[in-house]
Structure 1
Amino acid sequence: MAARLLLQSDWPQVLRKVEGEVWVACKIPGKPTLYGSLKCQGVGSDGLLEVTASEGFVVNEVKKKSILISCPEENVTSKFLAPYTTFSRIHEKSITCLDISSGGGLGVSTSTDGTMKIWQTTNGETRRILEGHIYDVNCCKFFPSGLVVLSGGMDSQVKIWSAEDASCPVTLKGHKGGILDVAIVERGRNVVSSSRDGTARLWDCGKSACLGVVADCGSPINGIALDVADSSVELGSPEDTPSNREIGTEGKLLLLAREDKKLQGVSLHSRQPVILFSGSDAFNCCAFLSSVHILAGAQDGNIYQLDMRNTQTPVQVTHRSGAPVLSLMPFKEGYIASQGDGSCFIIQQDLDHVIELTEPDSDPVYKVATSEKLIYTCCRDGIVRKYLLSNL
């Protein structure tokens, strides 16, 4: 665990005040935390805030929505990015999942207020309310077309919706426990779901039928990820001839983030187990970094980076806090992660600093979605935050 910089969550608002002052800290493993402050000295001729740091910290750069801070003694630097805008009226309670359409114009989100909504990403205005699940909806995802939405709920049902008129032409039944995650195969003739019942299933959307149980591991599957595996990864051959209703399953690896502390990889086409890695705690989420490198986030805050060709030893284990890792997604030459302590950050290979997406104050950030130069997050505080990367 490396040293980590922390900054008061409402820093942009406070520093804009006359002589506004916020706290900054450097958390150092095995040592006392180093505390300091940033103070606004006024506004420069360029319209940007002039900010100075107390002893032990340096303000390297200030922009309208970001600030770059370092702690030279610990050789750590972080850039803190404030939201470009926020939407607080989409839902009344915690927002548990969100996704953005391929065109970037629409968002879909689920909430503990019992609703699932489609909204405009420009202003957060609700366009459609998707009603039909019983109990909570846990996950939602746009199909590549941007016109159709896939969802899974605690009612053990997977549903497919029209984003245009909110109708639900397809309901997929077969799981015996709540749906925890979903994935779409290529353009969406087939989809995959994972459940508290310990199974992952492949579905034919056109006939509303289950094409098979891809994995049955006896432990809740909290998250899944699906992508093409490198040709050097042995995916095996099907024991039985696959249905001609299976479209685009060849060459795909399905990752399963399991409650029993295991990360599993299964060939979607052959149903053969490919990898099995044991972690330190329950896995909540997983993602592909490339066709050979994968990520998995655990309940104890560990983020594992693995090479599929040899999962005996992780390539890297990142541990920034003991809060649960709630979402992971690839981003440029790195990834975005969110955790249960309100932290959401970007790690990129070509940057010597971490980018922290600020404002949630100890409220878990449940999910992250991207659209070109925009990043969207959803949080327990019921707010969707929209970050503009050109503000960096």
Structure 2
Amino acid sequence: MWRRLGHTSRKSAPLPDAAYVELVDMVARPVMPVAFMGIALACVGLLLASRKQDALLLALTLAGIAVDIASVFLVLAYQRRAAQATILADEARGWERRYAIGLFSFAALLGAINARALMMAHPPESSLVPMLTSGLAFVFAGGVVSNVAFRPRLCAVGLALSATPTVIGLVVRATEATDIHILLGFVLQALLLSAFAVVGLLWAAETHATTRRQIISKLDFAKMARRDDLTGLANRVELRERFDEASTRLGPNEYLAIHCLDLDRFKAVNDAYGHLTGDLLLCAVTARLLTMVRREDTAARLGGDEFVIVQIGVRHPDEALLLARRIVRVLGAPYEIEGRSIQIGVSIGVALAPRDGLTLEQLVTRADAALYRMKRGGRGGVVFAEEPPPPSAANDS
């Protein structure tokens, strides 16, 4: 069983961040199971403490109630945070750690309550304590398996902390029994709880694996819908998402640069060598382009030989100019495509937010207009919105 859980964990090691965040969300969002566990522990613990007049049982029960209340507030805080904006992987790890602390503390206190109650002196025929402790252990195990199965390690530790002391207490009671039927009853309860925990862990491992595959498949389909089929760059959908995200983080002294790129002489390559060569050339252009943009920037293909780059964190327009000139230089170097040396160029129009507009449509329109002023005045250069084309641009048609 532990090998199986470990195997599941190893398979989950390369889990994409988005899939991990979704799994954490499935565990940390539900509040009713957490509240119900607290109510069950409070009812059983207080009844046992009252029955046995035991201060330690009462203290353990009150501590369990306090931990559960804190866990409920943690879940509510998570729900509020998740409703505000997307939670990234690093933050999700923090939420999972806090949730795990609450879960493990609650499980340990529940196990301690059961062990304390079972190991106290009882009349041989008494069935109240084993009935209540076993019932509480089964309810908690069922709740953990159903609610935390998506994270098998949390499930395994929670079950171990709650079930192990309960099983030990039942075995101790069995060794003290003089009636064979009572002895077998305690042993049977211990075996059933152990078996339930084992089956629950195996089910959690299978649930995790199945859910993981489903989430990754869903993310892959979503990614395909936001990516250009040929180059793998962002398409219009992802371009808008990344722009909207970047614009919300735009600082008071920052620009967001929109670079509109159009390849020069690409149509001539298509006409001379065919569309397959043209597609290979676009992929080669993409590979070079990706070496020049940072991870936080966005490179997108809008179709044909038209590309857009969203450059964030620009403190001065010269930073955008430096990137654009580097793109012109690097993309203008010769390409080796199917044994042919092919050379093209690129013209770039640049618009800056908020100076030239605030929406993606405004900025692309103004950058595109600058690009075509460059095309009319001479290809292979860079023009900012509302700037005339540089007189040094070569007239290459």
TM-score, structure 2 as length reference:
0.22
Larger Rg: 2
The answer to which structure has the higher strand fraction is 1
TM-score, structure 1 as length reference:
0.22
